[in-house]
Structure 1
Amino acid sequence: MNPNQSGYQHGGISLLTGWLPLTAEIVTVVVLIAAVGWRTRRWRSISVPVGMCLGVAAALTARWYVDDQGLSSDPAPTRLWVWVAATAAALAVAVLGWRGSRWRRRALSLLAVPLGLLCVALAVNQWVGYYPTVQAAWGAATAGPLPDQVAADELADLRGTTTATGKVVPVDIPDSASGFAHRTEYVYLPPAWFAGPTPPTLPVLMMIAGEFNTPADWMRSGDIVSTVDAYAASHAGRTPILVFVDAGGSFNNDTECVDGPRGNAADHLTGDVRPYVISTFGASPEAANWGIVGWSMGGTCAVDLTVMHPDLFSTFVDIAGDHGPTAGTKDQTIDRLYGGDSAQWAAYDPATVMSVHGPYTGVSGLFEDTDGTGRRRGGGNRPAPRSQPGSDDRAGIGGHDGTPDTDEKGAATDLCTAATAVGITCDVHTAPGGHTWQFAASAFADSLPSIASRIGTPDRGAPSNDPGPTLGG
């Protein structure tokens, strides 16, 4: 295992289950009780009810905001709202009890607030499975190196060498076609790219993360580099090139990969990223050799970009995406994503796009979604996505109540039906799991052999220094 990988999902202190989240909650409760208990009876009779009321109001307001903004694909766990309420109550206790309190009481009251915020953060993380371990969170916070990461200026020295794993390269892709302000993006180059005097012409997978994202999330939270390296090891070092794109420009900018008030995300992915990967890394320019894999919002993007641009992409994997770009209700979506232009809503709605386009040729797709039953359906004899090492399938709200939002529910079946009607070959695979990064990672592992084959990844039998067959035919 690459030393940079330790602590992502292969071991490390879990933030999803185990002793650390439980200990944080117990300590917070004890500190909050102590802060409240060291007061006079008269103080408690006034301040505690006020604190409780403020806490309930804060929880209700936070829940309303999440629902109004369409921020979640699954309902948040009750634990999250409890800790929001407790944190607001702790703040009220600190403010209301400040006068006349000794420094020790003030210190306890103040300590309860950040502890409450920590428990809120842990509850959110358990909901979505964003950081599986302390080490993964620390790597993201400190911008530590990703698994197999090298600098672009190191690539020339690796030419003609045999590497045990692929390499992840940070790239700054020009935004000349889109004007879209984006963060650092990443490209995974398989071992076969380095063998021989020139790189082989390989296919490409564009990797798109969810609504709240960084381009590194597939690697930090999903730990998929280990999955791709394992695939390369059993295929003579050959995998598609993977490009981890920035579809948001910032962590909380939900573009849904469309062009609009939130930025020209679609133009960036099609007009900036694709030409750059072809010219810089020698990737195939043929649509038949390009696919898109997306998770949550990214899954919606994967379908949308493929059916809108069959001249650029030929296949997609949609992992728990929606029926179409969504930012709240339909009216809210039209306002937020398209500046009130309903024609743009139709232009980016996958079902509408497919019906207007008519028959497609050579386009295929796979939908990976959760069913909450514990049994796989719709995938023939294919196994359910395997769990990532160190993950817990119970993590994430979907694993608790299995209730997706109204736009995600049934999206895979509905879109696959619409796709089949216009000549797109598609399949729906469902498996137990929550709307979490752990499910996204296991779904990717499940789908990788299929989509790698569909975009023409050279056969495992070819020697690693052979450029392989001509792609795109």
Structure 2
Amino acid sequence: MVTVVVLIVVIGWRTKRWRLIWLPISVAVGIAGALAARTYMNSQGLADDPAPQPLWIWTAVFVGAIAVAVVGWRGTRWWRRALSVLVLPLCFVCVTLVLNQWVGYFPTLSAVWGAITAGPLPDEVDASDLAGLRGTAPTTGKVVEVDIPDNGSDFKHRSEYVYLPPAWFAGDTPPKLPVLMMIGGEFNTAPDWMRSGDAISVVDSYAAAHAGRTPILVFVDSSGSFNTDTECVDGPRGNAADHLTKDVRPYMVSQFGASNDAVNWGIVGWSMGGTCAVDLTTMHPDQFTAFEDIAGDIGPAAGTKDQTIARLFGGDADKWASYDPMTVMATHGPYVGIAGWFEDTGQQPNAQKSARPGGHGNYHPPVASAPNGFGGHDDSMMVVQKDAAEKLCAAASAQSIDCSVHTVVSGHTWQFATQAFADALPWIAGRIGA
């Protein structure tokens, strides 16, 4: 409301020339700016879900306000110039607020402050403190920042993080605990699962109810930079898949004594990370045995299929097929001991659909049904996203992968990802031997 009032004062009634020429031009510039932003987002495949209309409205207002300030600067009183400068950051804040409502990236002001200042994460300690905690019984797990060598991939990545449960500190040497690889969305940093996804609270609560025993969690960097969409594949944007399978996995075994057996490894992925979870598990059943796909796509996506092949695979359609989970599963044939959990938003708040090898889909009471922000979904996109999960689960079931599809009323937000992780943690921890 404050922004609207200030903008109205800035625009003012002014002269007839202003009202008939410069103001309409400013409005047209604002609309063109919003359309250009929307076109760019769609062409780059930056989001699977349609952005809410208020985002484009405020983008138009922001760009239009810039035009008003520029064309109306000359011959304007000092106070109107001052308000013209003031209204720009106000409009920009409105754009970012709507954007954050869409994705739920910063659930609280403290999360914003923590990200800006790179403040400590929940349960975070220095790696040098771990030795002194050996043989103790901490009430919560501990998070350490790690710099994992890229010897197997040459993938330039940022710092990654490891959560060690209370059980890891018992005894003279670390027990060979199972591991969950945690992968975030398209625009991400490794701490996002902890800052925006509240994963530490979820896993600490689980540890408290299970005598301190949970899987180790490794929060990986699958992109190398905030705005690089790799979809966890090897290609022109870097060897992200090799980093996760050839760098991260052996590092966890050598540095933290984690189990090296595939039966003790799982992947939890949100949005793009959900696609990664399915892809990596079906491509590497010798390394992973369970996955949770939270609102992922039917396969790696960076726009249309042709755009994806060009952007992620350098135009190599055969390489695209080698990462397409539907193709991978059909080519591989029956799997042994692999399981998956799909969780997504949908229009059926009172049911979840499960598919089992050799059986049929049946409806059961839902795991969860609570709104978690409006996200980017509209009804049609809910159906598309849910349809992707059901198609993947059906294809997986046909190849003896034990899977289920869980539908929850929510938006495509980090808050939904938090709930989905909490829903599936008991299941996936059991699958990988926690």
Q: TM-score range by the shorter chain?
A: over 0.9
Query: In 2, distance between residues paired with 1:446 and 1:382?
Result: 13
* Cα deviation, residue 406, structure 1: 8.6
1:52 aligns with 2:27: yes
* Cα deviation, residue 386, structure 1: 6.8
TM-score (norm 2): 0.95
1:463 aligned partner: none
1:448 aligns with 2:425: yes
1:385 aligned partner: 368
1:177 aligned partner: 152
1:189 aligns with 2:169: no
Query: In 1, distance between residues paired with 2:310 and 2:33?
Result: 27
Task: Please identify, of 362-371 and 279-288, the stretch whose mean Cα deviation from structure 2 is larger.
Answer: 362-371
- Contact 2:295–2:342 (CA<8 Å) still a contact in 1? yes
Q: Which runs of 5+ in 1 are unaligned?
A: 1-25, 458-473
* Cα deviation, residue 407, structure 1: 6.5
Q: Within 5 Å, which residues of 2 pair with 1:96-135?
A: 96-135=71-110
* Cα deviation, residue 220, structure 1: 0.5
1:65 aligned partner: 40
- Contact 1:385–1:445 (CA<8 Å) still a contact in 2? no
Task: Please identify, of 367-376 and 324-333, the stretch whose mean Cα deviation from structure 2 is larger.
Answer: 367-376
1:339 aligned partner: 314
Query: In 2, distance between residues paired with 1:186 and 1:274?
Result: 13
TM-score (norm 1): 0.88
Count of aligned residue pairs for this structure pair: 426
* Cα deviation, residue 405, structure 1: 7.7
Aligned amino acid, residue 181 of structure 2: M
Aligned amino acid, residue 367 of structure 1: F
Q: Which runs of 5+ in 2 are unaligned?
A: 355-362
* Cα deviation, residue 91, structure 1: 0.2
Q: How far does the alpha carbon of each residue in 1:317-337 deviate from its partner, in whole angstroms, 9 at most, with x for none?
A: 001111100001110000000
RMSD between superposed Cα atoms in Å: 1.4
2:249 aligned partner: 274
Aligned amino acid, residue 411 of structure 1: A
Picking from 394, 399, 405, the partner of 1:417 is 394
* Cα deviation, residue 381, structure 1: 4.8
* Cα deviation, residue 117, structure 1: 1.0
Higher RCO, 1 or 2 (CA under 8 Å, sep at least 6)? 1
Q: Within 5 Å, which residues of 2 pair with 1:399-418?
A: 401-404=378-381, 408-418=385-395
Picking from 373, 378, 387, the partner of 1:394 is 373
Q: Name the % identity.
A: 65
SS at match of 1:378: strand
Q: How far does the alpha carbon of each residue in 1:303-357 deviate from its partner, in whole angstroms, 9 at most, with x for none?
A: 0000000000011000111110000111000000000000101000001011111
Query: In 2, distance between residues paired with 1:232 and 1:213?
Result: 26
* Cα deviation, residue 384, structure 1: 3.0
Moved over 6 A (4+): none
Query: In 2, distance between residues paired with 1:34 and 1:67?
Result: 34
2:230 aligned partner: 255
- Contact 1:420–1:426 (CA<8 Å) still a contact in 2? yes
Query: In 2, distance between residues paired with 1:339 and 1:78?
Result: 34
- Contact 1:207–1:242 (CA<8 Å) still a contact in 2? yes
Task: Please identify, of 106-115 and 245-254, the stretch whose mean Cα deviation from structure 2 is larger.
Answer: 106-115
1:16 aligned partner: none
